[in-house]
């Protein structure tokens, strides 16, 4: 049996957001509060979307990658930076604050890696305020939750309308 066959779902998935709308509305309210915390901390919307995208890359959430790529472009992010985000450490396209936030988001997504967590936190202390550190962690925690909802529900990614690529 191939790994693809083993991975194929044998039963339709439950869209847990639709099945438990009260819980999903609470998660949406959390996301709204976190966006406010990030804005109050002075984090640019593009940086918030980079964190959302990087965490979604790590988790392999196609639905969230689709949604947050569009949100990042709308916020002014460039196609070039979005294209190299998975290899952000290997480019100089991201500044110190962005690099610190991305490392902290990765450490939040994989908290069992204590060494990476300590390194990320040290970098965050050098480039981010305490409010910004808190906001980045909350953004990462929240998108991790949405990733799990979408992955386990198998939310589909539908084709976008054809048109020019922005930026």
DSSP 50-88: HHHHHHHHHHT-HHHHHHHHHHHHHTT--HHHHHHGGGG
How many CB atoms are located within 10 Å of the residue 146 CB? 25
How many Å is the Cα radius of gyration of the chain? 17
Tell me the C-alpha to C-alpha distance, in Å, between residue 58 and each of 45, 61, 87, 126: 20, 8, 12, 24
Task: Identify the architecture of domain 18-153 in CATH.
Answer: Up-down Bundle (1.20)
- Judged against a pLDDT cut of 90, whether residue 162 lies above it is answered with no
Instruction: Work out the average pLDDT over 115-137.
Output: 96
Q: Which residue has the higher pLDDT, 167 or 142?
A: 142
Mean of the per-residue pLDDT values of the chain:
93
pLDDT computed for residue 165 by the predictor: 55
Give the Cα separation of 121 and 127 in Å (integer): 10
Q: Where is average pLDDT lowest: 11-15, 20-24, 133-137?
A: 11-15
Give the Cα separation of 32 and 95 in Å (integer): 26
pTM, 2 dp = 0.90
Instruction: Work out the average pLDDT over 89-96.
Output: 97
pLDDT computed for residue 164 by the predictor: 57
């Amino acid at each position: 049996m191939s790994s693809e066959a083993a991975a194929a779902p044998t039963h339709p998935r439950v869209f847990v957001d639709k099945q438990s709308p009260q819980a999903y509305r609470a998660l949406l309210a959390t996301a709204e509060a976190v966006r406010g915390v990030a804005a109050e901390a002075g984090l640019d919307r593009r940086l918030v979307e980079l964190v959302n995208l990087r965490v979604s890359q790590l988790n392999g959430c196609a639905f969230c990658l689709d949604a947050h790529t569009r949100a990042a472009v709308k916020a002014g992010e460039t196609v070039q930076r979005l294209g190299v985000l998975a290899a952000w450490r290997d480019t100089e396209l991201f500044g110190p604050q962005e690099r610190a936030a991305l490392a902290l988001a990765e450490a939040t997504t994989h908290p069992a890696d204590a060494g990476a967590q300590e390194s990320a936190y040290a970098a965050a202390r050098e480039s981010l305020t305490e409010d910004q550190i808190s906001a980045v962690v909350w953004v990462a925690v929240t998108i991790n939750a949405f990733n799990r909802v979408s992955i386990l529900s198998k939310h589909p990614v539908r084709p976008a309308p054809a048109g020019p690529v922005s930026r």
